Each structure stands twice: as C-alpha cells, then as structure tokens.
Amino acid sequence: MARQGARAGTGTHTGRVPVTLAQIARQAGVHVSTVSRALSTDEDVRGGVATETATLIRTLAEELGYQRDPAGAALRTGRSRMLGVLVPRLTDIVLATVYEGIDAAAAAAGYHTVVANTSDDPQLQRRRADALLARRVDGLVLGDARSDSDLVAELARQRIPLVLVSRRLPGRVSVTTDDLLGGRLAGEHLLDLGHERVAVVAGEPYASTGAERTQGFLDAFAEAGLPVPESHVVSSPFDVPGGRAAAEHLLSLRPRPTAIFAVNDFAAIGVMAAVRDAGLLVGRDVAVVGYNDVPLAAALPVPLTSVSSPMYRMGELAATTLVNMLNGKPGRSRRLRPTLVARASTLAGGPLDTDGTGGTGGTGGTNGTNG
C-alpha cells in the first residue's frame, strides 16, 4: 500500500504531494469530472465546461504543476499514446535518422515512441513486435518489413494500426522514397557519362529498397538499349563487407564493368575498397554510385556519388500518417522523391575532380556528438 509520491517534473513549483485531478478539483471547488473535461485536448469535450471555469481550472493546474498520469488515462481509455517502432538496427545511421524523424513527429502529436532492434531476423521481429504489443502501444511503425515474411499480414489481420517506413509491401500503407526512380537516376547518371558495361550490388532480395532500386537502374539501361546481363547483378548484405565481397566478384568478370551501382552507401564503401584492392582508381577506372547519401559519403577520401533520400522527413511522415490513422483518418502511402548527388566517385577526371585523389569533401556532418 505504500506508494511513493509522484514526482513532479523539473520544471515548475509544487512540493511533495502527487497532484491529481482530485487535488485540483478540491481547490477549484468543482468535481473531478469537470476538471478532466476542462483539461481535455478534445474540443468537443472541453466545450462542455464554461469558459470561466475552464480557465480557472487550467491556471490552477498550471500552478500546481499538474501532469496527467499516463497509467490512469491509459487504463480508462485503452490507449497508451505510445507508438512502437521496429528497425533492423539503430546503429545503422539510415534507420537511426528515420527514427529521429519518427520520434520528433510523434512527440509533436503527443505520442512517445519505443524502438527495438530486430536485426532483420524474422523471429526477432515477431518477438519484438509482441513485446511492443504487450506494452499496449497504439500502433506500429515498421522499418524492417520483409517480402518473405507474413508478420505484417498477421499484424494487419489483428487490426493493429501500422505504417511501413523505408521499405514497402504491396497493399500496406507505407512511406518510402521512390526507389524505382532513385535507381533510374543512378542509371541515367552513368549513361550520361558514357558507361556501357555496368554492374549492380543489389542488396538483400527480401527488402523492397534493394529490389526496386535495382529494377529502376536496370530499366534505365534496358531503355537505352544496353540491357545489363543477369550475371552482373548480385545480391549482398547491406554493409561494407557485403559490398566488398560482391564487388570482388564483379571486378573479376571480363570484360570488367566500368561502373558499379550499390543500392546502399555502406555497400558502396565496400565496393570502393575492393576497387582499390584491385589496384584500380575509384572514379577513373571504376565509377561507383551509392544510395542514401549519408553524411559520410561526402567525407570520404574519394567523395561518393549517391542518391540522396529524405530520411528524416520519411520518419516524420510515417509518424504523422500513423497518428492520423489512429484518429480515424484513412492512411495513404507516400513515395518521396530522391535526387542524385554527383561526386568524385563517378566524376574523377571530370569537372569536379581532376587528379583522382579526391580530397575529403567535408561539408557533410558525419557527426559524433558523444565523447
């Protein structure tokens, strides 16, 4: 029965007592239900209380430093005002950036978020989703949707409000970049530079991102009358070692491709390493294009040409979309427009870089604010 008194925020006054609706009601000389209504954000509800009474209650609440108890509210309403977020890995700066956007937009709408890593592992995805649901989140933002898993379908069948982000899935509400277009931009860029023998590091087949970026790229070359043979398209993990291994294979082909498109910047960094190891020069002997334009891309010794995608904005939109759905509005998928940022990895010897060494770019943030 011993309950420690609720703690007040760092902000305002108040001493020890847990300030509840009843406290305010007593001081205002009204019933708690009136206080509840006066403090509600719902317009219709607050309309039920006289303006004068409402302002009195609100100033009183302010003075006492009242903060609604989420547990009480959640118990009564059945909604927790918490959103669950699933990502492959938070140490991946792409998803970390998306998550920052999600959290910012959610906070602006009065929601908190709880995030969990799934390592792109179907079993972990299920476990983490269940854990989030056990926490009674009001909805889910999934950043790790796999086309070879039925987890999303199951969740949808349970009528759990959810929005996909970064990756798409047919028939689901999602917020992504237009990966087909992004891949096409990469292809057209290389076509403009005169490349005819190109290869693709295509990422994991279960991720729509890799698949669609690859498809868009292939479309561009096919339409130009230079179809890319299947042997020049290899899948790989979305990381440095993955890109490196894939590129080692591609560079062993004869005739050797003059350009490689990697569907992810980290894989592209691995590609660049493999190019160097083969005794070739990135940008002159082999052009490299990445995807996402992470801050590091511009800071590399040979700055990386990359398709820039609005990651933070994607997160924001995903969160607001989900919140709208929770408010009864229908969810609508969005595809954001990517742009290509050309740098030395495709332009060495060209207008932007004449000596092939590159310099370190350096406008990029690549931040490390820790210590």
Residues 19-58 that bind DNA (CB under 7 A): 20-22, 29-34, 36-37, 39-40, 42, 45, 47-54
Question: HEC states along 55-79?
Answer: HHHHHHHHHHCCCCCHHHHHHHHCC
Strands (DSSP E) found in 218-369: 233-234, 259-262, 287-292, 305-308, 334-336, 339-341
Binding partner selected for residue 34 from DNA, a second copy, none, CB under the kind-specific 5 to 8 Å limit: DNA
Residues 356 and 286: beta-carbon distance below 8 Å: no
Footprint (CB under 7 A) of DNA, residues 141-160: none
Of 30 and 300, nearer to a second copy (C-beta) is 300
Helix 93-108 to helix 311-326 angle (10° resolution) is 40
Give the torsion through C-alpha atoms of 313, 314, 319, 324, to 10 deg.
90
- Report if residue 3 touches DNA, rule: CB under 7 A: yes
Among 15, 41, 44, 158, binds a second copy (CB under 8 A): 158
- The nearest distance, CB 272 to a second copy, in angstroms, is 7
Of 74 and 124, nearer to DNA (C-beta) is 74
Q: Which residue matches tokens 């991720």?
A: 207
Of 287 and 300, nearer to a second copy (C-beta) is 300
- The nearest distance, CB 119 to a second copy, in angstroms, is 7
Q: Is the dihedral of CA 211, 176, 244, 344 positive or negative?
A: positive
Among 23, 117, 236, 321, binds a second copy (CB under 8 A): 117
Which residues does residue 262 pair with via DSSP β-bridges, in sequence order? 201
Of 51 and 135, nearer to a second copy (C-beta) is 135
Task: Provide the mask over 70-99, with x wherever binding to DNA is found by CB under 7 A and - wherever it is not.
Answer: -xxx-xxxx---------------------
Of 12 and 51, nearer to DNA (C-beta) is 51
Question: HEC states along 345-356?
Answer: HHHECCCCECCC
Binding partner selected for residue 10 from DNA, a second copy, none, CB under the kind-specific 5 to 8 Å limit: a second copy
SS3 content of the chain, % helix, strand, coil (to 5): 45, 15, 40
Rg, C-alpha atoms of the chain: 26
Task: Provide the mask over 247-286, with x wherever binding to a second copy is found by CB under 8 A and - wherever it is not.
Answer: ----------------xxxxx-xx-xx--xx---------
- Report if residue 239 touches a second copy, rule: CB under 8 A: yes
- The nearest distance, CB 280 to a second copy, in angstroms, is 13
Q: Output the CA angle 159-120-320, nearest 5 degrees.
A: 45
Footprint (CB under 8 A) of a second copy, residues 310-369: 357, 359-360, 362-369
